[in-house]
Structure 1
Amino acid sequence: MREISPKLTPELQAHCNGLSVDKAPAFQVTTFRRLVEQVAKLAYINHDDLLFFRGQDTDYLNRSGGTTLYPGIYRGDSIPERELRHRFDMLEQGCRLLVEKWQVAKIDGYSDIRRKKYIQWSILQHYEVAETPLIDLTHSLRVACSFAQLKKSTDVAYVYVLGLPHVTNRISVNSEHDLVNVRLLSICPPAALRPHFQEGYLAGTTDVTTDFDSKTELDFRNRLVAKFSIPSSSQFWGSGFNIIPATALFPRGDKILELCNEVKSALKDELQPGDIGSFIGVWAELEDFLLTTGRRLTERNISVREAIARMLERELITPEFANELQALRMFRNNLVHQPTKVRSLSVGAWLDRVRDALKQITAGPSQTSPR
């Protein structure tokens, strides 16, 4: 995503003292009214952007001491590519389960859910089913403050102000800034109560999954306009304002929550350690080796299938071993896209095969190439 240079009020400029907003300490605000006044000034001078808010009980910092606001799927230092691919495999399975259960439940909006990836991701993210490349935001300052104070784990909480392109559609894609913004109220059916109470939005970087030049381009600190610290106590609200209770932020009787809980449970069942999850993890490591070798041979990005073919052409592997790799690749695809068709098979046997293949191919050419 494109980094912005926010315009600050004289008060905030003096507070930052030459530091960028992410590296400067959070600006302390003692009352909700005072926070509204600060945000009003920022909205006026940053009129090219639309301001969104996010509340947290902790200000997470990177190694250089700056605030970091990564979508959940990208969180963690130096994530190996195979781990990231594994996370996206889990997300893909979650999407498939969501679509299946949505159709069975006969809830409005099935056509959109089936066709639109960003809607699938948004619902899985907002209902905490799986980590996605999207981050939760709100257009309501009161909602953000209520979320920040929800856990009351410390004496202070944090509210972030982010500047995003103006929203034009229910799913707004801005190619100039490499950002997508999803308005949950417009994509969720009335049965989904939570987004309506939270005035929820989700934002992410367009067309980026596991292949990116620098992970920092996915960090929403690039869109940070200001960060505030607020008291966790009820005195913050003063007279005339009140925190939104958890019972309102997470209302009962939400049919989509019930459906998403079923998806979450099914996803856990399908990804038990030592079972399907272990296969996907080992396959991810094998796939990484194949893709790295294939890219070195062809000097371009290629698929796993093509990488196996190129290695066979160069006699780096035998025809028999190439067939085994293709069989493992096809099993992995069925596992991710049609797991109900492979549950009756012995996943343990396939796990042994993929482990053996990884061991052979990483041991050197003598194990897999023609003699």
Structure 2
Amino acid sequence: MEQVGKTSVFAYFDEAKKIRAATNSEIRAGGGHPVSSYLELAKKVADLQFHNREHVLLFRGQASDFKNRLRNTTLKPGVLRSDANHPLNPPGPDELGLRFQRLKHFERRLVDIFEHKKVLGRQRVARHRILRWSILQHYEICGTPLLDVSQSIRVAASFASMGEVPTAFFYVLAVPNISGVISASAEAGLQTVKLAGICPPNAVRPYIQEGFLLGEYPEMPDFDQKQHYKHYEIDFGRRLIAKFRLDLRSFWADPNFPKVERGALYPDARDPLFKLLKPLGK
């Protein structure tokens, strides 16, 4: 994918009080702009959108800020992430080959389950790889070349707050204009999937999480295609225009802006699609 802000974008950068010009590389290398409350974050995101109006902003929250060998923030899709024991070493060819084989296996099983249960929209899922990946990724069945994000500030900040840590990270990613359920930009090398438009209407999690998925365009069907890309190219950190460091000791203190609790983010007991897919994860 193409890097946003090769020259500069408008960003809140580290300790700077006001929005200013910064490059993607500077933002990724920094420690993150400190934020102490939800309302402060919402106001600063609004400022970012106003100053970067050529982009649509999507959000991701994490308890930790993972770095690559250059000490830059890395936001890689699950199928391409480094092993936890060797976080700075990208997975080798053999491991990647196995991961893509596993992905294809679960794609076939997903199609079979949808067909057997006569799930609404099963024909589209059988025909389009990106839809299969989206469902497998969002319901955490296996790693895919896609990255989960949200259009909701509160949802992303709530995900960031799920760990038992005093500080968490909130990422703002810039994507091209979204013009439908699946939007692809050849210029940016990026596609965006709106989960609510591709999952069956009885699926609960995608609507609660206001979920989107980001992927390479053209999509990467297998390991052979992956070999045409360098590891640093397939990193959604390249779309980062702001990194906020949340002080969780005070962030959710205002009762008017409560955190979305885990049980609401993952309403599994009331999600028919989760129950349908649960056997896949075993």
Structure 1 CA distance for aligned equivalents of residues 239 and 18 of structure 2: 16
Residue identity matched to 2:257: F
Does 2:188 match 1:160? no
Structure 2 CA distance for aligned equivalents of residues 38 and 223 of structure 1: 18
* Of 34, 44, 47, the match for 2:53: 47
Contact 1:16 1:24 in 2 (8 A): no
Aligned to 2:209: 198
**Following TM superposition, by how much is the alpha carbon of 1:247 offset from its aligned partner in structure 2, in angstroms?**
1.3
* Of 175, 189, 197, the match for 1:178: 189
Aligned to 1:26: 32
Contact 2:182 2:191 in 1 (8 A): yes
Higher relative contact order (CA closer than 8 Å, sequence separation 6+): 2
Provide Cα deviations, 1:224-272, integer angstroms capped at 9, x if missing partner.
010001123465341411001111111122111112211122xxxxxxx
Name the structure with the higher helix share. Answer: 1
Contact 2:59 2:153 in 1 (8 A): yes
Structure 2 CA distance for aligned equivalents of residues 128 and 203 of structure 1: 15
Residue identity matched to 1:103: E
Q: How many residues align?
A: 264
Structure 1 residues 79, 166: CA separation in 2 closer, same or farther (over 3 Å shift)? same
In the TM superposition, 1:331-350 aligns within 5 A as: none
In the TM superposition, 1:101-180 aligns within 5 A as: 101-152=113-164, 154-180=165-191
Contact 2:64 2:169 in 1 (8 A): yes
Aligned to 2:259: 243
Contact 2:24 2:240 in 1 (8 A): no
**Following TM superposition, by how much is the alpha carbon of 1:14 offset from its aligned partner in structure 2, in angstroms?**
6.8
With 103-112 and 156-165 compared, the bigger mean Cα shift is at 103-112
Q: Percent identity?
A: 34
Structure 1 CA distance for aligned equivalents of residues 22 and 252 of structure 2: 23
| Partner SS state of residue 131, structure 1 | coil
Aligned to 1:8: 11
Contact 1:16 1:25 in 2 (8 A): no
Structure 1 residues 226, 58: CA separation in 2 closer, same or farther (over 3 Å shift)? same
Structure 1 residues 83, 247: CA separation in 2 closer, same or farther (over 3 Å shift)? same
Structure 2 CA distance for aligned equivalents of residues 192 and 46 of structure 1: 33
Structure 1 CA distance for aligned equivalents of residues 23 and 191 of structure 2: 32
Q: What TM-score comes out, normalization by structure 2 length?
A: 0.89
Residue identity matched to 1:202: L
Contact 1:237 1:243 in 2 (8 A): no
Structure 2 CA distance for aligned equivalents of residues 110 and 74 of structure 1: 28
In the TM superposition, 1:73-92 aligns within 5 A as: 73-76=79-82, 77-92=89-104
| Partner SS state of residue 226, structure 1 | strand
Name the structure with the higher strand share. Answer: 2
Aligned to 1:94: 106
Aligned to 1:67: 73
* Of 243, 248, 253, the match for 2:270: 253
In the TM superposition, 1:273-352 aligns within 5 A as: none
Structure 1 residues 45, 176: CA separation in 2 closer, same or farther (over 3 Å shift)? same
**Following TM superposition, by how much is the alpha carbon of 1:16 offset from its aligned partner in structure 2, in angstroms?**
7.1
Root-mean-square deviation over aligned CA pairs: 1.9
Contact 1:230 1:236 in 2 (8 A): no
Aligned to 1:294: none
Q: Mind listing any 5+ residue stretches in structure 2 that lack a counterpart?
A: 83-88
Q: Mind listing any 5+ residue stretches in structure 1 that lack a counterpart?
A: 266-371
Structure 2 CA distance for aligned equivalents of residues 262 and 141 of structure 1: 32
| Partner SS state of residue 169, structure 1 | coil
Structure 1 CA distance for aligned equivalents of residues 277 and 195 of structure 2: 15
Structure 1 residues 87, 19: CA separation in 2 closer, same or farther (over 3 Å shift)? closer
